[in-house]
Chains A and B, each alone.
Chain A
Amino acid sequence: MVLVGQPNSGKTTLYNALTGSHYRTVNYPGSTVEYAVGRGPVGGRAARVMDTPGISSLTSQSPDEEVTARLLFGESRHGPPDAVVVVADVTQLCRHLYPAKQLIQSGHRVVVALTMADILERRKKMSLDTAVVAAQLGCPVVRVDGRTGAGVEELRRKIGERLQEFHLKPPTLPAPAQEADISSVYRDLERIQTEAIRVTGAGSDLQKRLSVCMPDALTDRLDRIFLHPVLGVIFFGAIMTVIFTSIFWLAQPMMDAIDRSVSILAGAVGAILPDIWLTQLITDGVIMGAGAVAVFIPQIVILFLGLGMLEDSGYLSRGAMIVDRPLAAVGLSGRGFVPILSGFACAIPAMMSTRAIPNARERLLTIFILPLMVCSARLPVYGLLLSFLTPPDRPWIGGLGLTGLYLFSVASGLIGAALFGRFLKLEKSNRPALLLELPAIRRPKLRVVVATTYQRTKSFIQKAGGTILAIAVILWVLTHFPPRPGMTEGEVLAGSVGASIGQWIEPVMRPLGLDWRVGVAMICAFAAREVFVGALALVLLVSSAPYGGGALEAPLLLAMRNAVLPDGSPLFTLSSCIGLIVFFVFALQCMSTVVVSRKETGGWRIPGIQLGAFTLVAYVAAVFSVQILRWLGLP
């Protein structure tokens, strides 16, 4: 059986209730872009339940809607569905029953699940008669609340009964509807709505109709601020500023705590285990390497919490409407706002969420610029370099720098879209549509936001964890072999396999004012950016033993201050750090992003251009900024 319905009608919430899964739900139309298959008991048997991207009719317009249409009419490997559950939001009964009507006409066995009845009753003071809807539509209708689980058992039973009925013929996809058909379907649905919904205190028919038509009072009042031509923009700017500055300021105490405990842990493990090379691999390689990235988890959690609150409140669509005009100027659309915002968490889900953008050109451009957004994997790198550059007496510089980097990434993305748009040979003539639904505003549910943040953080740690461990071990071996007993660590490193590989990249690194050690870390960062921090910790020989818990400064920062070039000048200076930051701003150092970009764009052309152009721009821009800063006389 398949769950279908208008975008943002609550399909995924119901799917989670039916199958016991924990898919992420978002108060934004188009958050599900791929179908999901789960199992749940229906009518006494185990059934395959499928969640689908939202559709507003059977005529598909964007890639995510095509997924649903193919699934419904048996063009997927699952064959045609035995039953279709149409999920409909009762506060928009007519619009949400429209696909139900189309599906019944095309020969599907339909059961209607009505959601959001609580909003209708509590906020709009209306009541609903499900029996009327069922009688008029000629199919079973159940009132459900996926969040509390109310009505879900009845829905299972009704679907079970429906499956007993004889299936007449396989359903067929109808031809695109004509204006007259659409109007007559809507007239039927309006009649159902008039009979089924009772409004308390409405006099005439017209009054009743208008009060059904209005969004709830809270949403209506808030929209006067959120969508105001001036206040709306100010509010938007304020929200974004609060989220992105708190990443740096709120996280600082937690980060210091983690930093200290990692050093203590490494020291303790080193003291317990015998002093052999394996112990060093564990303390210096694994614990310090992973710990260097673990320090940045608080920042990532705060970012995810902020995004989660925005998602659950329904504000995202309002933000999308506000930025539509500026984005349209460079060939993007307001529908690209949510992918771009989630690109601040990770480019991979962001690229997948572009499927809800109907216009192919806007979609490709959005995918193209997504790798430029400051993703959570860049946070550790910027965090490290910024805290290195921030003088202890002026801690606000770090927060300001990070906010600046976020703004800069958006600016470079817009410029990138404008430039790339000139070369993109794709139909530009007819103006693409926006047609974005602005859902009811809700108070963010803490449980939902925390669960989302937990899931995202977990997947960040899992993804980063494996890569970091593998690279830490490889790097440790490369920098410690061949072992030379009796020599200092520095001498072992200078004669190691890693160093001889490093000589190869030395010429490339020199214009940046850096040496091969940073070069090795940068190469490792091509697997995933956050690895840079762990790898740097390793090659700079962060030894856990001498620091312990009492160090004034984090061991990695201290090692960076002490690191010198062969001629004795410091390795990390203002110019070389800024050069590194500039490099990370542009470079596409994430293999998973390249792979997803290939999948989403259907070829190697776009990911190839992205990889080549972004990395080239990154290197050239980094060299330029280092040389200019030096020319200006800065260290």
Chain B
Amino acid sequence: MSERGAGTENGTMTVLDLPRHRWARVDRVEGEDTLCRRLLEMGFTPGECIRLVAAAPFHNPVAVNLRGTVFALRDNEAFCLKVCLME
């Protein structure tokens, strides 16, 4: 799980910046403690592959594909997920 995706622009991208239907890896989870723990326990762990499935206007909420399911996240939750695009 150590390899990082190509084109990592020093890992500042969040889920909100992702193009639709492109795979990305979770780089790190940053933000308020309880929210981060919740996201991690739900399976948003660093190294995991995720994909933006759909986004409502203003990217709030967004639908993110993770480990066989899809989650609806508000923008503040999605903002905690720092990602980098794969390939």
Residues of A whose CB lies within 8 Å of any CB of B are 56-57, 59, 61, 89, 91-95, 98, 176-177, 179, 182-183, 186-187, 209-210, 212-215, 219-220, 223-224, 227-229, 232, 317, 320-322, 324-325, 328, 334, 430-431, 433-440
Which of chain B's residues have a CB closer than 8 A to the CB of A95? Answer: 42-43, 66-69
Complex-state Cα separation, A98 to B38, whole angstroms: 13
Least Cβ–Cβ distance between B6 and chain A, in angstroms: 13
Please state if B40 and A182 are interface contacts (CB–CB under 8 Å): yes
Which of chain B's residues have a CB closer than 8 A to the CB of A324? Answer: 56, 60-61, 72, 74
Complex interface residues of chain B between 11 and 29 (CB less than 8 A to chain A)? 23, 29
Please state if A187 and B67 are interface contacts (CB–CB under 8 Å): no
Please state if A320 and B72 are interface contacts (CB–CB under 8 Å): yes
Please state if A229 and B56 are interface contacts (CB–CB under 8 Å): yes
Q: Does B41 interact with chain A (Cβ within 8 Å)? A: yes
18 other A-B residue contacts (CB within 8 Å) besides A94-B68, A182-B40: A91-B69, A93-B68, A94-B43, A95-B67, A95-B68, A179-B37, A182-B41, A212-B67, A212-B68, A213-B51, A213-B68, A214-B51, A229-B55, A324-B56, A324-B72, A325-B57, A435-B77, A438-B63
Least Cβ–Cβ distance between A175 and chain B, in angstroms: 11
Which of chain A's residues have a CB closer than 8 A to the CB of B37? Answer: 59, 176-177, 179, 182
Complex-state Cα separation, A215 to B71, whole angstroms: 11
Residue in A59, A325, A435 whose Cβ sees the most chain B Cβ within 10 Å: A435
Using known A-B contacts A179-B40, A433-B35, determine if residue A227 contacts B54 with beta carbons closer than 8 Å: yes
Residue in B40, B41, B51, B55 whose Cβ sees the most chain A Cβ within 10 Å: B41
Q: Chain A: which residue is nearest B40 at the CB level? A: A182
B interface residues, tally (CB under 8 Å): 42
Please state if A177 and B41 are interface contacts (CB–CB under 8 Å): yes
Q: Chain A: which residue is nearest B68 at the CB level? A: A92
Which of chain A's residues have a CB closer than 8 A to the CB of B69? Answer: 91-92, 95, 215, 437-440
Using known A-B contacts A179-B29, A179-B36, determine if residue A223 contacts B56 with beta carbons closer than 8 Å: no
Least Cβ–Cβ distance between B34 and chain A, in angstroms: 8
Using known A-B contacts A227-B63, A229-B56, determine if residue A435 contacts B68 with beta carbons closer than 8 Å: no
Contact of A214 (CB < 8 Å), options: B1, B65, B73, B74: B65
Please state if A210 and B38 are interface contacts (CB–CB under 8 Å): no
Using known A-B contacts A224-B54, A435-B73, determine if residue A98 contacts B68 with beta carbons closer than 8 Å: no
Please state if A186 and B45 are interface contacts (CB–CB under 8 Å): yes
Least Cβ–Cβ distance between B75 and chain A, in angstroms: 9
Least Cβ–Cβ distance between A278 and chain B, in angstroms: 60
Complex-state Cα separation, A109 to B47, whole angstroms: 31
- The 6 closest A-B CB pairs, nearest first, are A227-B54, A92-B68, A57-B41, A321-B72, A438-B70, A95-B43
Complex-state Cα separation, A439 to B39, whole angstroms: 17
Query: Could you write out 27 A-B pairs with CB less than 8 Å apart?
Result: A61-B38, A89-B68, A92-B67, A93-B68, A95-B69, A179-B37, A182-B37, A182-B41, A183-B45, A183-B46, A186-B48, A212-B68, A214-B51, A214-B65, A214-B68, A219-B70, A220-B53, A224-B54, A227-B53, A229-B55, A232-B54, A325-B60, A431-B76, A433-B38, A435-B72, A435-B77, A439-B69
Q: Chain B: which residue is nearest A358 at the CB level? A: B38
Which of chain A's residues have a CB closer than 8 A to the CB of B53? Answer: 220, 223, 227
Complex-state Cα separation, A57 to B72, whole angstroms: 18
Please state if B61 and A434 are interface contacts (CB–CB under 8 Å): yes
Which of chain A's residues have a CB closer than 8 A to the CB of B48? Answer: 186
